[in-house]
Structure formats: structure tokens, C-alpha cells
A and B are shown apart, each in its own frame.
Chain A
Amino acid sequence: MIYLTSFLFCGFICLLGQVILDNTKLTAGHITSIFVVTGAFLDTFSIYDQIINRVGAGALVPITSFGHSLIHGALYKASDMGIMGLLMGMFDLTASGITAAIVFTFIFSLFFRPQN
């Protein structure tokens, strides 16, 4: 069941992105930025948390969960530290993803050449 909800939710987000991409002048960069902001907005009222609980990892894979993780870490830290916590906790949950992407990119760009 959780596989089906994962499939449907993640597929639906991608479908939404593709429809926006095909029918407007926005590029992929615009769309990913819009989706990140949407994810952050949805988690302001803990809506995205409930989606993750019901849908499973299908809600963690799209880029919307990046915005959700940013604000989730910030608000968690802010509950202890007040307004400074927003700045301290911003990258708490996304650190692994960003660090992994930077390290892998660095290693691969040392060893691989452009194909064309």
C-alpha cells in the first residue's frame, strides 16, 4: 500500500512539474525553485509532515521535501533557542544531502571528462 501511495504522490508532483514546464515559459530552474518554496510553505503549518506520515518515502524524494527539511530543522532549533535558532538549525536535516552532492560532484569531476 505504501508503495502505491509513494508512486502516486511522487508521480503526481513530477506530473505537475511537467505540465507547468510544457505550458508556460518557465524553465526547470524556475520550477524546482517554486517547488522548494511550496514545500517550505506547506511545512510552516506541519502539513508536509502529515503527508510524509501517510505517503512514506515517496514524499521525501521530490525536491519539495528539501524545503520541508530546511524549515523543519530551523523550527526545531528555534523551539529551544528562539529567533537565533532559525539560523542555527536551517541546514541540520539537509546537511547530509548537500554534503553528499558536493563531495560526489568534486570526486567525479576530477576523474570524468564531458562526453561530447
Chain B
Amino acid sequence: MEKTRYKELVKKHQPTETRSQNAFIAFVTGGIVGVIGQLLTEFYSGFFEISTKDASTFMLVTLIFLASLFTALGFFDKWVNFCKCGLIIPITGFAHSMTSAGIEYRKEGPIFGLGSNIFKLAGSVILYGVVSAWFFGMLRLLIMGG
């Protein structure tokens, strides 16, 4: 094969996305998720006449539901591949990792498949979140007295 032809082929199959492009996409999509969160919070607090704090809980549950549903329907994986951190860092990434692990390991049975693997990816978030929250809480109680 000629060298120029080879170079052309390599160029054709190289990933065209660059780091700055990835970062920009993550920024925009992450920002959009944040705006959706704000919209939902205001919608719920107006529609159900509840406090902003309760409405934000509703909003998080809605985002988790949508992320789980879209993962189960199969097209959320493509979105995550495109947006990367724009959908992984928001709470949607937490729901996505749990639902994809659940659906993936469901065929290995309800106990050793689904039950053992549901927290396979999300478990690290809960583990390090709880341990660090406990540690920092102890520090604050001991040093600042609550």
C-alpha cells in the first residue's frame, strides 16, 4: 500500500473529537441539565404549592426517573457517549450507572446477578460519600463543637 494512501486511511479513522470539543460539549450539556433542574424546581413549587426545598427533592427524583427510563429504553448510552461528563457528573449519571448495571446483570439471576451487582458502579459514590461525610462531620463536631 502506498504511504500517502495509508496516511489518508489513518486520518479517516482517527477520532475527530478533540479535548477542547469534549470540554465544550460537557459544559453545554451539563449546563442544560442544570437549567432543566431549575425549571422543574420552579414548576413543582408553583404547581403543588410546596417549598423550594421539597420541590428540589421532586426535581431530583424526576431526573433519576428519566435517566433510568431512557437507559432502559436504550438510547441514554448514546447520549452519555456523546456528552460524557455533561451527563455523568449530574445525578443522571448515578441513575444511569445503576440501571445499566441492573439490566446488564439481570440475566445472571435475581440474587447473585441483580442484587449483587446493582451498586457495582454507583457503590463507590455512596461508600466514599458516606465515609468522607462521617469523617468531616466528626472533625467538625470535635473541633468546632457542632
Contacts and interface: CB of A to CB of B under 8 A. Distances in A.
Interface of A: 2-3, 6-15, 17-19, 21-23, 28-29, 31-33, 35-37, 39-41, 43-44, 56-58, 60-63, 65-67, 70-71, 74-75, 78-79, 82-83, 86-87, 90, 96-98, 100-102, 104-106, 108-115
B91 interface: yes
25 contacts: A2-B38, A8-B31, A11-B34, A14-B27, A14-B85, A14-B86, A18-B25, A28-B93, A32-B93, A32-B94, A44-B137, A44-B139, A56-B41, A57-B41, A86-B134, A97-B64, A97-B91, A100-B60, A101-B94, A101-B95, A102-B118, A104-B68, A105-B68, A109-B102, A111-B72
A53 B39 CA distance: 16
A49 to B, nearest CB: 12
Given A10-B33, A70-B129, A61 B91 contact: yes
B122 to A, nearest CB: 7
Interface in B84-136: 84-86, 88-91, 93-95, 98-99, 102-104, 106-107, 114, 118, 121-122, 124-130, 132-134, 136
Interface residues of B, number: 72
Contacts of B26: 11, 14-15, 17-18
Contacts of B9: none
A13 to B, nearest CB: 6
Nearest to A8: B31
B30 A10 contact: yes
A102 to B, nearest CB: 7
B93 to A, nearest CB: 7
B16 to A, nearest CB: 15
Contacts of A17: 26, 85, 88-89
B22 interface: yes
Nearest to B65: A104
Interface string B73-85: 1100100000011
Nearest to B103: A109
A101 B69 CA distance: 11
B126 to A, nearest CB: 7
